Structure 1
Amino acid sequence: MVLIPEGYFPMGTGSGGDADQQPMHYVYTSAYYISRQEVSNAEYEKFLKATGHAEPKFWQDVRFNRPDQPVVGVSWFDAMAYARWRGGRLPTEAEWEKAARGNDGRLYPWGAKWEKGFHLYFVNVYGVEDNYPFTGPVDYFESGSSPFGVLNMAGNVWEWCLDWHDKDYYRISPELDPQGPVEGRMKVVRGGSWVNTLDDVPLTRRGRNFPHIKNSIYGFRIVLPTAPAPEG
């Protein structure tokens, strides 16, 4: 887990991108801990054995079931069940974006732009030679880490967030620890995935889907409000 300190950061974008990414606005978040990596199959297996929870949709699929790959085929409800088992929850959209962008408003975890030759160690997306035709290991893309050292915030898998999606939410969002709309039909997903191109993975991009959906491009990470207990 990585500590994300309290404070303000610029969320959204002032120009370019889709309308639901605008306007750029400053948001304050309290301190929190977020998973450095997407939740892996190995981690999720511990949850399955401890709780008897149903296996994910692609659990037996050799393309996606290596221990070090991110768990996929999980719904928003599955992700929340795991997070609660760990004593946490899914990140809010604001918490996710802050952990990915830091405080300087960068467009990608590694900086403001994509340079030709950025491959192999930065991001797992479609059309980039990164050694992985499907999902990559959760700890592989070290060079593409965020300013806080969080991995795979762009590409690999879209990540479920706590919030309901509303295309106009940024226009009415509270400044302090926004939690998203009180109701909705679709949940927010962030970060893009292995089937998306670089155009789909800027950190302001907001995805959405119904919370019961399970597919091979959705995974998650979790947030804890306090320092995690040491293992062992």
Structure 2
Amino acid sequence: MDSPSDAPTLLGDYRLIELLAEGPLTRTWLAEQVSVRRNVLVDELRPEAEEARESFLADIRSKAAMDHPLIGSVYEAVAKDEHCFFAREKLAGATLEERLHATEAMRPSELAHAVRRVAEANLYLESRGQATAQLDPEDIHLEDSGVVRLVNLAVAGEREPERSVQDIVNLGERLVPLVADGHPGASRMLTLLAWMRGEGLEIPLTWEQVRAYASQIEQQLADPAAGAGPATTHLPAPKKLPVAAIAGVAALVIAAAGVGLSVMKPKPPAGPPKASLPGAVLIPAGKHPTPDGLDEDLRAFRLASHEVTIGEYAEFLETLALLAKDKRERTFDHEGQPATKTDHLPDDWETLRTAAKTNGTWKGRPVTLDTPVVGVDWWDATAFCEWKQGSLPSQEEWFAALRVGVQQPATLKPSNWLPVTAETPDRTPNGLLGMAGSVAEWTRSQSVNPANPLGEKLWVIIGGSFLNPANGAQAREWVEERGLRRPDLGFRLATDAR
């Protein structure tokens, strides 16, 4: 689109390059931010629409309040004299709308990944009660590297109760042509899109359910056995999806004109979809025993039922990679982190992650994406927890959670280093897994080793591990260096009780 003849070459710090869109109230420009020499998008309130200035600025404030790595950033807003505009991030990659126009289908694993990331961004918006404009394929960008980003659709006002359902249904309808038929997982992806449209379901899917299903499809397709058959009619049954229909064949009927497309209604789910990993456990406020034989008053909090997994940690690293584009990769670093520590990659990360994605082996042991991550130091664990808006547990919190319903911790049988499942044998009555075995865990604070009461406070590692199961859940170590990494050392997340 050509630039209007009366448009200025410069708008503040922005050199206008090309007019991309024009409406009754606003214009959207491709521009260069001169001071930092980067391309951005500039949305300008048209001079003749001055009466809309306050609502325009209210929307900008809502967009600027969004701080999520999957959602495009607002860089600057200007409202003075006759100029009222804001600059926002120009997202990389092609949009899903562009792929639809180009009839460029996607591998089911690739589309499942995109849908999962879209769900995660929308769960963030839901959690804040944030009002948004309608989500369309043109708002979803997919880079060649597989990174998914969303246009910032936040607007002022209260979130509409039906916003999420409408967006889920819209994507369920619009994304069907993107499924590459004949590829492993195609029928599963088509079934998920059918459910997103509400076919065969009494209750519409939520973003949490969409994320859980898409994640399970991703994990199943990462297993070479799951993709062994080249045609969708010979797919193996999924291991985790609670509804058998997603493993079956969704009959695809294509009209002769190539336009009519319908998917057979799947068997309705017997119950709401379940996430692949168990959730956090609430620990009530009150007096709790400590590992040193005392009682201590603790606030209510939640402790993750399992150690952070390889798959969860991989998402954290993906977030850091996105932030690095704006030189914000240190956003979640602890204030005391040494300047010489420049990343949060676990030991031998690429080998470990590759093995986990293919259900292979690492150092002779089988691993999946649901296996607890290891080879992380205290700084890594703390940064992850900050990203999750939580923290490492103190040793007192960890032990208090262990003792809820457990009179004798020594009776817990240590487990091996295994993927997290609902059937993990190393389990407390309230649902905490791997406290006696699996991997040892970092805690938040320092303490004195009671065997050396005159010694200095050191950092505490708590719980047994598959390499050191002798003392089980009662195991503790005191270490001086927070940079310590081991193949049996991980962590779990503590959060507020709300």
Could you list the per-position Cα deviations for residues 72-118 of structure 1 after superposition, in whole angstroms to 9, with x for gaps in the alignment? 0100010000000000100010110011121553224xxxx36xxxx
Residue 160 of structure 1: aligned partner: 442
Partner of residue 29 from structure 1, selected from 270, 290, 298 = 298
Higher helix share: 2
Distance in 1, matches of 2:298 and 2:429, equals 16
Q: Is the Cα–Cα contact under 8 Å of residues 10 and 104 in structure 1 kept in the other structure?
A: no
> What are the residue-to-residue correspondences of 1:96-111 with 2, within 5 Å?
96-102=398-404, 105-108=407-410
Q: Deviations over 1:199-228 (max 9, x none)?
A: 321x3332122210111010000111143x
The match for 1:84 is 386
Please provide the CA RMSD for this pair. 2.6
Deviation at 1:148, TM superposition (A): 1.9
Match of 1:6 in 2: 285
Shift of 1:140: 6.0
Cα distance in 2 for partners of 1:31, 1:105 equals 20
Q: Which amino acid aligns with 1:218?
A: L
Checking the alignment, whether the CA contact within 8 Å between 2:415 and 2:425 is kept in structure 1 is no
Identify the match of residue 345 of structure 2 among 41, 55, 58: 55
Residue 425 of structure 2: SS of its match in structure 1? helix
CA distance, structure 2, for counterparts of residue 169 and residue 26 of structure 1 = 19
Q: Following TM superposition, where does structure 1 have runs of at least 4 consecutive aligned residues deviating by more than 4 angstroms?
A: none
Deviation at 1:169, TM superposition (A): 9.8
Larger fraction in strand: 2
CA distance in 2, matches of 1:212, 1:223: 21
Instruction: For structure 2, list consecutive stretches of 5 or more residues without a partner in the other structure.
Output: 1-279, 322-342, 353-360
2:469 aligned with 1:222, yes or no?
Answer: no
Percent of residue pairs bearing the same amino acid type: 30
Contact 1:9 1:103 in 2 (8 A): no
Secondary structure of 1:70's aligned partner: coil
Q: Which amino acid aligns with 1:66?
A: T
Rounded to whole Å, the distance in 1 between the matches of 2:290 and 2:302 is 19
What is the CA–CA distance in structure 1 between the aligned matches of 2:304 and 2:373, rounded to whole Å?
14
Asked if 1 retains the 8 angstrom alpha-carbon contact of 2:405 and 2:430, the reply is no
Q: Mark the CA change 1:26 to 1:123 in structure 2 (over 3 Å): closer, same or farther.
A: same
| Contact 1:99-1:146 at 8 Å conserved across structures | no
Point out where structure 1 has 5 or more consecutive residues left out of the alignment.
13-20, 115-121, 126-134, 172-182, 228-232
Look up the match of 1:124: 415
Q: Which amino acid aligns with 2:347?
A: K
**Residues 77, 211 of structure 1: 8 Å contact kept:** yes
Match of 2:22 in 1: none
Please state whether the residue corresponding to 2:444 is helix, strand or coil.
Answer: strand
SS in 2 for 1:147: coil
**Letter paired with 1:42:** G
2:497 pairs with 1:206? no
Q: Which has the higher contact order (CA 8 A, sep 6+)?
A: 1
Provide the TM-score with structure 1 as the length reference: 0.71
1:184-206 deviation line (CA, Å, top 9, x unaligned)? 4x311111111113x321x3332
Rg larger for:
2
Once the 2 structures are TM-superposed, how far is the Cα of residue 141 of structure 1 from its aligned partner?
5.2
Contact 2:375 2:490 in 1 (8 A): yes
